[in-house]
Chain A
Amino acid sequence: MQPLAVSHFTLTNSLGHGLSATLDALRARHSSWTRCAFNDVDLDTYIAKVDALETCPVRSDLSAYDCRNNRLAQLCLKQDGFVDAVEAARNKYGAARIGLFLGTSTSGILQTELAYRRLDSQTGALPPDFHYAETQNSNSLAGFVLHYLGLTGPSFVVSSACSSSAKVFANAVRMMAAGMCDAAVVGGVDSLCLSTLYGFNSLGLVSRFPCRPYDAERDGISIGEGAGFVLLERVTAMNSPSAMSLLGVGESSDAYHMSTPHPEGLGAKMAMQRALNSAGLQASDIDYINLHGTATKSNDASEGKAVAEVFGDSVPCSSTKGWTGHLLGASGITEAIIAMLAVEHDFVPGSVNTQRVDPAMTIDYRIENGAEKINRVLSNSFGFGGSNCSLILGRKA
C-alpha cells in the first residue's frame, strides 16, 4: 500500500487525558485500577475508568447524543489540539472530502441498559428522554463526531468487537486510494457498560485482579474505557521519510470459533504477515510489537505462538493492557497510538502487573520498560468472531 501520513493523534483513558498523561503513566509504570464501583455492578473485578465523564455532558447543540460513550469521545477530541488539526484539514480539503471511520463495540448501550430500568409501569414503553439513534445505535459515535467536527465525507462505524478501531485504518487507506476522500479521521471509543462487564464475566473471561498479560498465572481480562483519534492524510513531497506514517495493514478471519481464538494463532499469523506484505517489509524491519495480550489463557497462548512463528524471539514485545485494561472497541486505536509514542520517544513499554512471563512463550516479552531506537512498530488487535487486524506504523526510512 501507499503509506499515509499520520498528521495528528490523541487519546484519553484511565491513565489521563491526552498524549502526555498516557506517556507519563507508561514511563512511571503508574496505572489507575479501581475495584469495580461502576453504577451498581456487583462483580469482583477491577476496572480502568475515566473519572471526569459523569460531569461533562456533550456540547449543548448535540444534547440528544449525550451518553457516556459520546462524552468520552468529546473529552478525547478536546485534547492535544485535535479539533484544531481537523479544522485546518477541513479548510484545506473541504468538509465533504474528509472521511470518518470509527470503531466501537457497544456504543451507547449503557443508555439502553439504564432506560430498561425506567420502563413505563403501565405500557412498558421506554422513557421519553431515550434517544435511540443518537445513543444506542452503533452509528451514534460516528454521528456525534461527524457533527462535532463538522464533517460531511463518507462515514460509518466498524463494529467487529475488539478489532474495530484497528480495522478503521484499512477503511481509510481504501477510501483515500479510491478517491472517496482526501483525508480521514479514524479512531474508536468504548465505555463501561453492564453488557460487557456481565457478559465477559458470564464467559469466565474476567480476572479478579488487574489483568496480567502473558503471565504464567494470568486468568482473564480487566475491562477499561478509552478513546483515541488519528488524522490521516496523503504523503506528499512535503513529508519527510522519517515522519510518522501508517505503513501497512493486514486483516484476516480465524474461521474457528466465536469467542476463542484459533489455538495455533492461524488468523493472527495471517494478519501479521499480510500487514508486512502490504508495507513491503520483512519481520526484521519491526522494532517493537504491541501485542493484543488480553491476559486470557487462550488469547496470549495463541498470539504468542503466532508472533513466535512470524518474528521469532528477536523483536521486543509487550501488551500494555496491564496499564489501560482491555478497551475492547477502542483498544486498536489506543494501542496504535501507544505504539506511535514508542517510535516518537524511542521507548519500549514493558508490561505492568505481569510478574513472571509464561515459560511456554518463546517471544522477547518485556516486563520492564526500555529505551531503544524504534523506527517501526506492529500493533495487533483480535476480536470475537475471529476478526483480526495488524497495523504497521512508524518511519518509512
Chain B
Amino acid sequence: MMRLFVEGIGLLGPGLDSWSASRAMLAGAAAYVAVPTMLRASDMLPAAERRRAGVPIKLALTVGQEAFLHAGRETGTASTVFSSSGGDNDNVHMISSTLATAPREVSPTRFHNSVHNAAAGYWSIAAGSHEPSTSLCAHDASFAAGLLESATQVTIDDAVVMLVAYDHPYPEPLNAVRPISAAFGMALILTPRQTKKSLASFEIDFVSGKTQESRMQDTGLETLRCGIPAARGLPLLAALASGNATQINIAYFEDNYLNIRATPC
C-alpha cells in the first residue's frame, strides 16, 4: 500500500472549466452541463509558443498551472508524470497524411511536437523545472498507470509530484477506430507528507483480479469517464469534491485494477 497526500487539483474538460468551477458539479450539488472544452494556452508560455501550442500543451499547462496555484507551490520544485493514451493526435494525423503523398515535407516543429513527451518538455521549460519528468502510455489504463507511477515517486523518492493526465480526439479517419469524446485534462499535486494545504490522503494498492469500476453518479459525467482515457480519474475528483471518505476502484488491464481509499484531511 502506498500513502500520499493531495495538495492541489487542476481540471479542464467539456463543461468542466477548472477545478474550482466544477467542484459543485463533481460533488453532485450542481447540474453538469456538457459544453465544448474551453481550450486556452497558458500564460506560462512565451507569446510565440502560445500561438503554436497544440491541444495537449494547452490542456497540460492549463491544468498544471491551476493545480500549482491551488497548492501554493513553486512550479520548479516538483517532479512530473504526464500520462496520455495518444499524445498529440492532431500531429500524428498531419504527419501520417504528409507522409502518404509526395512531397513528404514534414514540418520540423510538427515533428518535435509529435514526441509523446512534448507536453512534458514544454511544461519543464515554462515551469523552469530540472526535476525528473516521465511520459507514459497504457492505452485505456493511462490514467491508472500515471497514478501508480506518481505514487511510487512520492513514496520511494520522497518527491513532490505533479500528475497530469490528458487526452483529446483524433481527427478522422483515426477518430473512427479510436474515438475519444472530448479534450480533457486533469492534474494532481501529490506529496509524501501532510501539509497545511493537504486536501486528502490517498492509500493506493495495485490489485490482481477483475473489478467493478467506480462510476460517476451523473450520467453526463459517467459518459465522459467512459469516453476519454484521462477521465478515468474523475471518480477521484468526485471523492475530493464531496469531502467524504471514499473507496474507488479504477481498472488497469483485464486482470488488475487500482484500489484507492481517499480520506479528507
Contacts and interface: CB of A to CB of B under 8 A. Distances in A.
Contacts of B122: 258, 385
A318 interface: no
A116 B99 contact: yes
A142 B153 CA distance: 21
B130 to A, nearest CB: 5
A383 B2 CA distance: 30
B129 A142 contact: no
A165 interface: no
B31 interface: no
Interface residues of A, number: 67
A202 B124 contact: no
Interface string B165-184: 00000001110111000000
A380 B110 CA distance: 26
B134 interface: yes
Interface string A200-218: 1111100000000000000
A267 B116 contact: no
Contacts of B99: 113, 116, 194-195, 198
What 7 A-B pairs come out closest when comparing CB atoms?
Answer: A385-B121, A199-B111, A159-B116, A251-B132, A174-B152, A138-B137, A156-B145
B92 A109 contact: yes
Contacts of B120: 160, 253, 385, 387
B149 A195 contact: no
A133 B139 contact: yes
Given A125-B176, A200-B111, A203-B108, 10 more contacts: A113-B99, A116-B100, A146-B253, A158-B136, A180-B148, A194-B99, A194-B104, A198-B111, A270-B130, A384-B121
Interface in A111-150: 112-113, 116-117, 119, 124-126, 130, 132-133, 136-139, 142-143, 146
11 contacts: A137-B137, A139-B137, A156-B138, A156-B149, A161-B115, A161-B116, A195-B114, A199-B111, A202-B107, A258-B113, A384-B121
A64 interface: no
Interface of B: 2, 80, 85-87, 92, 95-97, 99-100, 104-108, 111-118, 120-122, 124-125, 127-139, 141-142, 145, 148-149, 151-153, 155-157, 172-174, 176-178, 206, 208, 252-253, 255-256
B132 A252 contact: yes
Contacts of B177: 126, 130, 132
B125 A257 contact: yes
A132 B139 CA distance: 10
A202 B108 contact: yes
A56 interface: no
Interface centre among A113, A178, A198, A257 (most CB of B within 10 A): A178
Interface of A: 42, 96, 105, 109, 112-113, 116-117, 119, 124-126, 130, 132-133, 136-139, 142-143, 146, 152-161, 167, 170-171, 173-175, 177-178, 180, 194-195, 198-204, 251-259, 266-267, 270, 383-387
B133 to A, nearest CB: 5
Nearest to B145: A156
Given A126-B177, A202-B105, A202-B106, A259 B252 contact: no
Contact of B111 (A139, A153, A203, A257): A203
A130 B177 CA distance: 9
A386 B121 contact: yes
Nearest to B139: A139
B111 A255 contact: no
Contacts of B135: 158-160, 385, 387
A255 B156 contact: no
A251 B173 CA distance: 38
Contacts of B173: 119, 124-126
Contacts of B134: 158, 160, 167, 170-171, 251, 387
B104 to A, nearest CB: 5
Contacts of B206: 154, 180
A199 B95 contact: yes
A195 B117 contact: no
Contacts of B148: 154, 156, 175, 180
B131 A137 contact: no
B86 A137 contact: yes
A96 B137 contact: no
A66 to B, nearest CB: 16
A215 B96 CA distance: 34
A171 B149 contact: yes
B138 A253 contact: no
A117 B100 contact: yes
B173 to A, nearest CB: 5
Contact of A178 (B129, B156, B176, B252): B156
A105 B112 CA distance: 12
Contacts of B112: 199, 203, 258-259, 384
Nearest to A266: B130
B95 A195 contact: yes
Nearest to B80: A253
Contact of B255 (A96, A256, A257, A270): A96
A255 B2 contact: no
Given A154-B206, A195-B106, A255 B117 contact: no
A387 B152 contact: no
